[in-house]
């Protein structure tokens, strides 16, 4: 969902009455949802599932109302509407009929969301304590069905038919299991069992995924919304422009870092590509970078942000809850792989920019005063790190204190600016209050699309568990692997990518965590730690965003860059190639994930192997283009550094360092290929 443009109070009121009324309702719902979350983080006044129920009702209602505003109420040019209907081959009257039906459905969805949440709240004690013993009423079952239909429709509207189809398939599988062959067979469920397990038994829709999403995930997204209201995106844009003046690679590296940071927060590679890519891709193209490379750079960076601690695109919180380990352990496990991926993407982009001579003059100066524009983020980010790492607070509590620190820090920054600009205290007070409430609104609006998908994924996980499908798939994968670890890992990789196609990263991870990860941890032949196994499948679920034929992040980026989709996929796979190797490397060198005395050596050899993969895929070593024989040599070095015996690892890593040093000091002959494609 796009952020509302900053408008003054008078401009906001100067709108048609229906639009103004709807915007006011959305504003009230969004501000309530954020304040409700912040207050819960402070008091923990309810059990988590009861809090999640109210959050679900208000969040889904907010999502439907925002959809209503953006699709039907906000003013659109009549000529654009006629052109749109003409392209679809329908008349304007037909479109109006469909529009009325959709408006009714959106309004009904908002009402049903509030009604379901209200019903569960009124009957919460009975549903939690008495119903499992004495049984559920017929009305309970109907409400459960309504909740499941509601979140499935919200998921369809927010993330498309693919992920909604997974939810529908999960529900259908519960019914048709007795008629399926082999590994898919189970005894089946009736509609009451589906309604009970899927929602009204306070599982499924109300399972741990929604609980984690409405607490740990929500508080950080709401912090991000407030940070954006206080100027975070403007700061990133201004820094990008300044760095372009002093780096030969120009704005590209800053765009990579900015996209990765924002990607960690959003939880969706496609959404991050759409938001940050809307201004990074044009800047990259303005530097002279070809369209397909501009799309690929942004897509890979946005996807890679999903692995960046401390949020890891929402997955960190989910992983900690699934494994039953402290959240900080997941953050530690994700740190070195993320740094390796960061480095690999940065190195690939650096080599590509120099290989194709897309560098800038870099003769300007960096305006250090720009850094002062972001000074008010230092204190809250310091509080975040201190509460998470030192005090080891829960993510919900750490997020609360971070928001508490952000508001006065931003106010102090605004007062200093006002003193310099000679603004009146009244103007400062009004402006800061409006900005703060805009931030409260933006955080909830950013969170709203995620509520439905987290709830619907709870249905999928419940059906997988209740039917025993996950255990049977794990058993079958182990049988196919035949006791060979590499085969099992390749099967897990392919399955994770397949289940991740078209899905947001949190959704993809939840599915593969239930279906694929157990195969890596239940074998008596292999000793893969659960955390390592979950990180392995998580990485490939994340990389599905740049993997054809769907490659949803590349598809979004290609529209912005106006580039060919398949060509952009090719370049994205070239830049992101190390990401497909790093998971295998940290299984072989698990000191990267589970810190120990071997971690420094593991990190060194995998880093060297990653560099070798980058050089091989880009076909450039910093001094000259490389032919295929030399690329194959670099791939062999990468394999030795990452997967060989320890002495071979260290030796090949040292050989790589020596080879690159000699190549870039001009002591090795250049190997030039005919074309730089």
How many angstroms separate the CA atoms of 58 and 120, rounded? 13
CB 516 within 8 A of CB 477: yes
Closest-CA residue to 214 (of 64, 49, 63, 328): 49
How many angstroms separate the CA atoms of 129 and 289, rounded? 62
Q: Count the Cβ atoms, other than its own, within 10 Å of residue 248.
A: 13
How many angstroms separate the CA atoms of 106 and 103, rounded? 5
Helix (H) / strand (E) element for 239: namely helix 232-243
Residues in the chain: 677
Positive or negative: CA dihedral 507, 215, 155, 80? negative
In the numeric block, the tokens 């820090």 are attached to 409
Using CA atoms, how far residue 232 sits from 226, 235, 405, 421, in Å, is 9, 5, 16, 21
How many angstroms separate the CA atoms of 113 and 268, rounded? 24
Q: What is the pLDDT of residue 439?
A: 94
How many angstroms separate the CA atoms of 341 and 212, rounded? 26
Q: What is the pLDDT of residue 572?
A: 94
SS3 202: coil
Q: Note every long-range contact of 5-14, with CB atoms under 8 Å and residues 24 or more positions apart, other chains counting.
A: 6/435, 6/438, 9/430, 9/434
CB 244 within 8 A of CB 375: no
CB 317 within 8 A of CB 507: no
Q: Count the Cβ atoms, other than its own, within 10 Å of residue 421.
A: 9
Encoded tokens for 432: 């800061």
DSSP 8-state assignment for residue 364: S
How many angstroms separate the CA atoms of 204 and 393, rounded? 27
Q: What is the pLDDT of residue 337?
A: 92
How many angstroms separate the CA atoms of 155 and 615, rounded? 41
Q: What is the pLDDT of residue 78?
A: 46
CA of residue 25 relative to chain centroid, distance: 28
Taking the chain (677 residues) in consecutive chunks of 10 residues, what is each chunk's mean pLDDT?
50 74 95 97 94 97 95 63 54 68 94 97 95 94 97 91 88 94 90 95 93 88 88 77 74 80 72 81 89 93 83 81 89 91 91 88 74 84 87 89 94 86 82 93 92 91 89 86 88 87 80 88 80 92 86 89 92 93 92 90 93 92 86 92 91 88 63 44
Q: Is the pTM of this model over 0.95?
A: no
SS3 135: coil
CA of residue 441 relative to chain centroid, distance: 20
Nearest-5° Cα angle at 325, 321 to 328: 100
In the numeric block, the tokens 């070239």 are attached to 574
CB 300 within 8 A of CB 255: no
In the numeric block, the tokens 């790589």 are attached to 656
């Amino acid at each position: 969902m796009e952020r509302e443009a900053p408008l003054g109070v008078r401009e906001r009121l100067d709108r048609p009455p229906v639009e103004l009324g709807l915007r006011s309702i959305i504003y009230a719902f969004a501000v309530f949802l954020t304040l409700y979350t912040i207050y819960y983080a402070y008091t923990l006044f309810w059990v988590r599932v009861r809090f999640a129920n109210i959050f679900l009702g208000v969040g889904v209602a907010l999502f439907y109302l925002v959809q209503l505003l953006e699709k039907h109420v906000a003013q659109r040019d009549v000529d654009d509407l006629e052109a749109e209907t003409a392209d679809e081959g329908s008349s304007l009257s037909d479109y109006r009929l469909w529009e009325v039906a959709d408006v009714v459905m959106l309004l009904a969805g908002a009402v049903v969301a509030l009604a379901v949440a209200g019903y569960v709240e009124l009957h919460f004690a009975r549903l939690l304590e008495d119903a499992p013993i004495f049984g559920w009423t017929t009305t309970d079952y109907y409400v459960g069905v309504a909740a499941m239909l509601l979140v499935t429709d919200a998921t369809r509207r927010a993330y498309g038919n693919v992920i909604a189809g997974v939810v529908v398939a999960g529900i259908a599988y519960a019914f048709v299991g007795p008629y399926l062959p082999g590994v898919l067979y189970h005894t089946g469920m009736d509609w009451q069992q589906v309604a009970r397990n899927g929602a009204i038994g306070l599982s499924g829709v109300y399972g741990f995924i929604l609980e984690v999403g409405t607490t740990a995930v929500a508080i950080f997204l709401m912090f991000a919304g407030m940070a954006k209201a206080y100027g975070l995106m403007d700061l990133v844009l201004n820094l990008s422009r300044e760095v372009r003046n002093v780096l030969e690679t120009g704005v590209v590296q800053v765009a990579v870092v900015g996209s990765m940071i924002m990607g960690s927060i959003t939880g969706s590679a496609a959404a991050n590509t759409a938001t940050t890519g809307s201004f990074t891709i044009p800047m990259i193209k303005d530097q002279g970078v070809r369209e397909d490379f501009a799309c690929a750079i942004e897509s890979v960076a946005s996807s890679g942000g999903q692995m960046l601690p401390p949020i890891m695109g929402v997955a960190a919180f989910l992983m900690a809850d699934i494994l039953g380990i402290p959240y900080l352990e997941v953050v530690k496990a994700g740190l070195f792989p993320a740094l390796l991926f960061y480095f690999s993407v940065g190195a690939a982009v650096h080599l590509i920019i120099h290989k194709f001579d897309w560098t800038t003059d870099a003769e300007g100066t960096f305006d250090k005063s720009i850094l002062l524009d972001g000074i008010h983020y230092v204190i809250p980010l310091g509080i975040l790190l201190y509460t998470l790492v030192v005090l080891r607070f829960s993510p919900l509590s750490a997020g609360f204190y971070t928001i508490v620190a952000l508001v006065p820090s931003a106010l102090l920054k605004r007062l200093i600016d006002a003193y310099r600009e000679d603004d009146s205290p009244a103007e400062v007070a009004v402006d800061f209050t409006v900005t703060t409430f805009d931030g409260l609104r933006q955080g909830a609006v950013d969170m709203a699309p995620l509520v439905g998908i987290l709830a619907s994924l709870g249905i999928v996980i419940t059906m997988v568990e209740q039917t025993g499908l996950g255990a049977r798939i794990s058993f079958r994968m182990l049988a196919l692997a035949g006791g060979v670890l590499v085969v099992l890992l390749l099967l897990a990789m392919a399955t994770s990518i397949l289940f991740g196609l078209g899905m947001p990263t949190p959704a993809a991870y939840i599915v593969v965590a239930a279906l694929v990860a157990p195969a890596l941890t239940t074998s008596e032949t292999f000793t893969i730690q659960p955390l390592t196994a979950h990180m392995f499948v998580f990485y490939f679920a994340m990389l599905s965003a740049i993997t054809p034929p769907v490659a949803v992040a590349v598809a979004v980026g290609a529209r912005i860059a106006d580039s060919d989709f398949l060509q952009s996929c090719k370049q994205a796979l070239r830049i992101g190639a190390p990401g497909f190797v790093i998971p295998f490397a940290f299984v072989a060198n698990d000191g990267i994930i589970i810190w120990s005395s071997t971690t420094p050596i593991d990190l060194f050899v995998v880093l060297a192997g990653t560099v070798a993969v980058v050089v091989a895929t880009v076909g450039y070593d910093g001094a000259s283009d490389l032919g295929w024989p030399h690329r194959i040599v670099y791939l062999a070095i990468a394999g030795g550094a990452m997967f060989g015996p320890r002495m071979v690892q260290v030796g090949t890593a040292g050989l790589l360092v020596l080879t690159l040093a000699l190549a870039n000091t001009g002591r090795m002959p250049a190997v030039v290929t005919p074309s730089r494609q």
